[in-house]
A = this chain, B = another copy of it.
């Protein structure tokens, strides 16, 4: 399976590493909007300009699009789906139906497959919700994120005057998780579910009280949460908070039986040292499925909810039945 990577940020680097762990895949090249000569990648694969893509359509079985959901993917995924089987990690939940329709139209017209919103949320967390709801129609879903770095919240802090750098961790409240697991089906407010921990590097002489006030009162990002702010030096931030760990859990608490007398807990948890490297590992598995669906004559937009699990696995269905079922 010949694979291309479009975009070389954190996700692109993760996809490159994940492809190296996939024995059934070969990285044909990395495509960049920058000057290719300035982009140094980890492997020996060539680096091309985006402009070189069109003429390589026959050499690439599936293109993994590693761009941002805000501005890159809404344009890139439909455009590339008219030439390649593609996979993206579009994660703006509210806009998924529109993005799906755009990719579907482009992919169907070209006879290609476009898998959108692959990753872990959306992605594996969504899949967990589907399995949980299918088995337990009478029940309640809960999602907790973290402990992990939210890049969006870290960026928001960095935009405050006097802030040089910042890292924000989203942290689930243990008592809330315990209440969910107990089966009481609590209604939990935003504040009851997560806390936010901020590690901030301030400019010399900056008004730290004012920075803290601006953080904890920031609408949408922080004002609905119990937020703690800790000022650290740049050295401390680099030393203790350099990684991008994340994770979380999907829980469904549901009841079976005629009188709903049996309580059941369905719980899916991820604990990830590197959020982008795990996300791109799923992108690579989804790329495998995209190519296989294309080979089977299918076309159009798909999400991970539409993909039979066995299509993600390098091994054959026979192997999976004998060894993993």
Contact = CB atoms under 8 A, between A and B. Distances in A.
Interface of A: 14, 17-18, 20-22, 42, 93, 96-97, 100, 117, 122, 124, 126-131, 133-138, 181, 247, 256-258, 261-274, 277-278, 281-282, 285, 288, 303-310, 312-314, 317-318, 320-322, 324-325
Contacts of A126: 324-325
Given A14-B256, A134-B309, 7 more contacts: A96-B322, A264-B278, A266-B269, A267-B271, A268-B269, A304-B309, A305-B308
Taken together, the copies of this chain in the complex come to 2
A91 to B, nearest CB: 10
B262 A322 contact: no
A266 B281 CA distance: 13
Contact of A305 (B127, B136, B314, B325): B325
A119 to B, nearest CB: 10
Contacts of A324: 126, 129-130, 133, 305
Contacts of A129: 324
B281 A93 contact: no
Closest 10 CB pairs of A and B: A134-B312, A262-B273, A134-B285, A262-B274, A305-B310, A256-B277, A265-B271, A130-B309, A267-B269, A126-B325
B325 A136 contact: no
Nearest to A43: B258
A314 to B, nearest CB: 7
A262 to B, nearest CB: 4
A130 B282 CA distance: 12
A281 B134 CA distance: 8
B320 A305 contact: yes
Contacts of A93: 325
A114 to B, nearest CB: 14
Given A307-B308, A325-B122, A257 B271 contact: no
Contacts of A42: 258
B271 A256 contact: no
A285 B308 CA distance: 15
Given A262-B277, A281-B135, A325-B117, A130 B320 contact: yes
